[in-house]
Amino acid sequence: MSTRARAVRAAFAALACTLLAGCVQMPTEGPVEVPQVTAEPDDVPGISFDPRPPRAGDPPADIVAGFLEAMKATPIRQTVARQFLSSEAADGWKPEQQIITYSELGDPEGETSVRIPMTDVNLYDARGAWQRTVATRGLPLGLVEEDGEWRIDEVPDALIVPDSWFDDQYQRVSLYFFDPTSEVLVPEPAFAPRGDQLASSLVRGLLPPSDVPADVSRTYFPVGTTLELSVPINSGIAEVALSGDPDAIDEETAERMLAQLAWTLRQEPRINAFQLSVGGRPFSLTGGSTPVGFDVGAGYDPDDLASNDLFALADGVVVRGLLGEFDPTLGPLGEADYGLRSIGVDLGGARVAGISDDGSRLVVAPTEAPDGEVSTVISEAVDLAAPAWDYRGRVWTLDRNGGRARTILAVDGAAAVESVPGLSGRTVTKLLVSRDGTRLVAVVRGPQADRVVSTRVRHDTDGATTGFTPLQTLPLPDDGNLRIRDIGWRSPTSVSVLRASADFSQVRTLSVDGSPGEIATGGNARLRGRFRTLLSTPVDLSEVFALAGRTVRSLTRPERTVPDLPPGLTSVTYVG
């Protein structure tokens, strides 16, 4: 072995020692050490961290360690990290194409061609949308000598950071697109940098291309539209200046672009309005460069006309109102007992779908028309779960079918079985549909534990279902052998999960895309007693309840004492 090879190997042996040593910061003098990433991060959001550049004579191990440390610069920037790369690699490196996070780094393998094992690795695309999690993955780095100094010449096009740093510097957001019919806005979960880069990241996330299939959601920003600079915010107004061909944007396209921007940028609290220009030409609803407010696109919100009332069955008849203040509805199901065990109500509160006591039939009737018709939509099922409605007035229901589940979709009074890979034929206990009609979430019963899974509904441009994306299992934390009792929408992109044992109940909220981490929603997460039902809605600021028989607990206002439900009141639900 040559002297230089022995020196390189010794340097990487030193790097391995530092990886395992768990140092918490990089010194300015002496040997360079990689911080232990499982410790609490020192870089508090809002506090600047300026990593040091490479020094003359740094060995390969210090170059690798310095590069990994430099990617943790705050505010987020890669000017120092590029200095650890060769000239060619620095010019070609595109860290904005992907984000790779890890919990720990292992013992480096190799000499000038290095592979560093990473554990608990999460991959995010250029928009900040989570892609997948892998238990282990190698980070390949190649080093060369350039002008007598070691530099990294081979590096993935990615920002590579500890997950603790990522959690501090990035926040959950929603990027708003349109469904394939262009009738309703669809939120797509993603992560974006906190602070001054948030607005720019949100805008870039809307621009093509997108990894989301076009039969799930679409953007109205034309191909070739780019954001070359940042999005400045002056006196609460964001200036969104895009490059591209303004002649490719007709009135309909411009109106939907503005709607996407309004709903996406409202997540930046410093913005009150925005101005959009493409290729130097301003676009607004009134013409010219008039600032656009966040009320744009309200008609594309599936919650725009949704009722805030609660509905329930009271001794078999359909009632509506608030907890403790229910009145019978005026439709036929509010005047007579049709032998129903559960109900679901359309978003406007105008129609109710009911499941018969034996679970074999689904009927639909108006809520406010005394002479309205009660239509039987499904008549020969085995065990129908409570139905759900989307914004198109479609009714989704689950026939549990003795452990061989069938998903049934009713459109205009005609019902058909939908083949959902991973759900059809399995033991499924609960099914939810998002109000925009693009997501299904379900509980799959297993021999030892239950799973919460999600899938996207594929549509053609006329709104007909064409299939489903592969199931994604949501990362439910291990709380022991607790069975899932119920799930409910907490926001358009998150669901709460109720699990219970004989003595206590646990509520956790997860993102529907499967990204890691629990979503903090405030209020109670752990309840004494065995609660079996969640009463929740995706509308912001709506109260969320857990029910155990007649006992009611508020999850969002735990200080509030909620009276017990009156005898005979069952199947309490929000619309949808």
Out of 363-372, 500-509, 518-527, 558-567, pick the least confident. 518-527
In the predicted model, is pLDDT for residue 135 greater than 90?
yes
In the predicted model, is pLDDT for residue 308 greater than 80?
yes
Position 468 scores a pLDDT of 98
In the predicted model, is pLDDT for residue 27 greater than 60?
no
Mean pLDDT (the chain) is 91
Position 330 scores a pLDDT of 96
70 SS3 class: helix
CB contact at 8 A, 199 and 231 = yes
> 211 pLDDT band (50/70/90 cuts)?
confident
* Contacting residues for 258 by C-beta, under 8 A, at least 6 apart: 276, 283, 284, 285, 292, 296, 297
> 39 pLDDT band (50/70/90 cuts)?
very low
Position 500 scores a pLDDT of 87
- b/e per residue 200-212 (b: at least 16 CB within 10 A): bbbbbbbbeebeb
Position 228 scores a pLDDT of 82
Q: pTM of the prediction?
A: 0.90
Domain residue ranges in the chain: 3-169, 179-300
> Which stretch of DSSP H or E encloses residue 251?
helix 251-265
In the predicted model, is pLDDT for residue 81 greater than 90?
yes
Is 100 exposed, middle or buried, given 0-12, 13-18 or 19+ CB atoms closer than 10 A? buried
Position 32 scores a pLDDT of 32
Position 295 scores a pLDDT of 93
In the chain, what percentage of residues exceed pLDDT 70? 91
Position 6 scores a pLDDT of 44
Instruction: Specify the residue for token string 């490059």.
Output: 243
Q: Residue 15: count other Cβ atoms within 10 Å of its Cβ.
A: 27
Region 390-412 average pLDDT? 97
DSSP string, 132-166: EEEEEEEEEEEEEEETTEEEEEE--SSEEEEHHHH
Position 521 scores a pLDDT of 74
* Contacting residues for 302 by C-beta, under 8 A, at least 6 apart: 184, 185, 347, 390, 391, 435, 436, 437
Region 58-74 average pLDDT? 96
Structure tokens at 54: 């490479």
